[in-house]
Amino acid sequence: MIGAPCNLSWREAGERERLWETAPGHPIARGLPPSFELEQEEMYGEPFGVPEPLETVFISWFQGGEVFRSGLTYRRGAGNVFYFRPGHETYPTYYDGNVKQVLKNAVHWAHNPSRLQGDLHAAPNVPVDTAPEKIKARGPKLHKDGEDGFR
């Protein structure tokens, strides 16, 4: 989806992670302290093989000394994408109130119904008489004249 290998270093040791806001005014960081800790996490470390993000909202520091860009935003086509690093199936990450707030904020930030309307997703029927060059219709039709296409 982002055209990169997403390679990184990692360690599964249940170590402490401290997440720091790097964009405190960003909607995804709304209602969060400047930093918060997760007592047990899997470590991800730089370099992280991803394209340059639109914004870096969070960075992480791990007990073993590594750092990692842990909250990245991207825009792909009509969609907003948020990458958030914390979360491991064996640790209670998703019960943490700050993590829940990040995920809630990210859903609101990514939801963008105005980008799903208008010309971007329209597939209008172009009548024969409005083609750039004169043509004559031939063969069967799937749609009635003037009917909009797929949406």
User: Tokens standing for 144?
Assistant: 């009635």
Tell me how crowded residue 112 is: count the other CB atoms within 10 A of its CB: 12
Q: What's the pLDDT at 79? A: 86
SS3 of residue 115 by DSSP: helix
Instruction: Note the pLDDT of residue 92.
Output: 93
CA distances from 96 to 55, 78, 109 (A): 24, 31, 20
**Any idea where the domains of the chain sit in the sequence?**
9-116
pLDDT level of residue 139 (50, 70, 90 thresholds):
confident
| Stretch 38-48: mean pLDDT | 96
Amino acid letter for position 55: E
Q: Round the average pLDDT of the chain to a whole number and report it.
A: 87
Gap between the Cα atoms of 99 and 53, Å rounded:
21
DSSP assignment, residue 139?
A: S
What pLDDT score was predicted for residue 137? 85
pLDDT value, residue 70 = 97
1-5, 46-50, 69-73: the lowest-pLDDT one = 1-5
pLDDT of residue 150: 47
Q: At 111, which amino acid appears?
A: H
d(CA 124, CA 141): 15
The CATH code for residues 9-116 is 3.40.50.880
Structure confidence by residue, pLDDT tens digits, 57-70: 999 999 999 999 99
The H-assigned helical ranges of the chain are: 97-110
pLDDT at 144 over 50: yes
The per-residue pLDDT for range 68-125, each reduced to its tens digit, is: 999 999 998 878 999 999 988 889 999 999 999 999 999 999 997 765 555 555 666 7
pLDDT at 52: 93
Looking at residue 39, its pLDDT comes to: 96
